[in-house]
């Protein structure tokens, strides 16, 4: 009976460890998954709901890897003879949560979740192309915005989606790696503050900006 109780406790502990690994993997990518969900739902207000997680993302990924590695260790370590010989529930039918197959599925899901920023942009709808119109050289200006909390291609897509809606914005180039967006606009139709407000609407806040003094052709 003691062997059976010990075995059951070990299995319950293993399930808890697997669940913790899956949870931390999912939490690590919430800041990247949310913008894509926001775009698909057509709601900018939830785009950066979990952007505050972004600074902790490397630590959450490391924790998830460590937890799942420990789960695999528990699953693959040699079983004691006393555990093998116990009746353990009087049935040979294995629970779905016990086999290595389930742990493998969880590990695969965790890997896909943690690597979401690498492929998440394929799920992001493209911004609607706005007719740029004709702007004289004298009216063209370019401004570079430094944007906080962007962490993946999904963040870029959300910012670009809002910029595409602004009348007077001629072009834009947003980079989550540089945490910036370079916007060319017609200053006879829109000003910098309006563009800044459009970016802030996504939840990714403009930290600062600089207007180019060079002539835009």
Q: How large is the average pLDDT for residues 27-46?
A: 65
Which of the residue ranges 31-35, 66-70, 101-105, 145-149 has the most confident prediction, judged by mean pLDDT?
145-149
- pLDDT score for 70: 86
Q: Is 141 helix (H, G, I), strand (E, B) or coil?
A: strand
In terms of CATH architecture, what is 137-211?
A: 2-Layer Sandwich (3.30)
Please give the residue that has the higher pLDDT: either 106 or 125: 106
116-122: long-range contacts, CB 8 A cutoff, minimum separation 24: 116/29, 116/32, 116/33, 116/152, 117/29, 117/32, 117/151, 117/152, 117/153, 117/154, 120/32, 120/33, 120/36, 120/152, 120/153, 120/154, 121/152, 121/153, 121/154, 121/156, 121/157
Residue 9 contacts by C-beta under 8 Å, 6 or more apart in sequence?
none
Tens-place pLDDT, residues 44-54 = 555 566 666 77
Report the range of poorest mean pLDDT among 2-11, 53-62, 100-109, 152-161. Answer: 2-11
Tens-place pLDDT, residues 88-117 = 544 444 444 456 788 888 888 888 888 877
Above 80 in pLDDT, residue 144? yes
* Neighbour-count burial for 180-195, b at 16+ CB within 10 Å, e otherwise: bbebbbbeeebebeeb
Helix axes 2-41, 57-76, angle to 10 degrees: 150
Nearest in space to 29 (alpha carbons), one of 114, 119, 125: 114
Token pair of 73 as six digits: 């260790």
The H or E element that residue 193 is part of is: helix 192-200
Q: What is the pTM of this model?
A: 0.59
Q: How large is the average pLDDT for residues 33-53?
A: 63
- DSSP 8-state secondary structure symbol assigned to residue 179: T
Residue 115 contacts by C-beta under 8 Å, 6 or more apart in sequence?
none
Nearest in space to 11 (alpha carbons), one of 102, 141, 85: 102
Please, how many CA atoms are within 13 Å of residue 175, restricted to the half-sphere of its CB?
A: 7
Above 60 in pLDDT, residue 72? yes
């Amino acid at each position: 009976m003691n062997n059976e109780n010990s075995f059951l406790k070990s299995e319950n502990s293993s399930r808890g460890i697997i669940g913790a690994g899956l949870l931390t993997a999912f939490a690590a990518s919430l800041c990247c998954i949310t913008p894509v969900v926001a775009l698909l739902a057509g709601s900018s207000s939830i785009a950066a709901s979990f952007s505050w997680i972004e600074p902790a993302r490397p630590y959450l990924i490391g924790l998830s890897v460590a937890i799942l590695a420990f789960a695999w260790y528990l699953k693959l370590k040699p079983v004691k003879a006393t555990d093998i010989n116990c009746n353990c529930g009087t049935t040979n039918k294995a629970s779905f949560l016990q086999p290595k197959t389930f742990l493998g599925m969880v590990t695969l899901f965790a890997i896909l979740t943690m690597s979401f920023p690498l492929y998440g942009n394929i799920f992001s709808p493209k911004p609607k192309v706005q007719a740029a119109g004709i702007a004289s050289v004298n009216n063209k200006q370019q401004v570079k915005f430094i944007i906080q909390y962007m962490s993946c291609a999904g963040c870029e897509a959300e910012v670009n989606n809002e910029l595409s809606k602004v009348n007077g914005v001629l072009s834009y180039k947003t980079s989550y790696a540089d945490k910036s967006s370079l916007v060319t606009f017609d200053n006879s139709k829109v000003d910098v503050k309006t563009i800044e407000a459009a970016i802030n609407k996504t939840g990714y806040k403009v930290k600062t900006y600089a207007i180019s003094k060079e002539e835009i052709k």
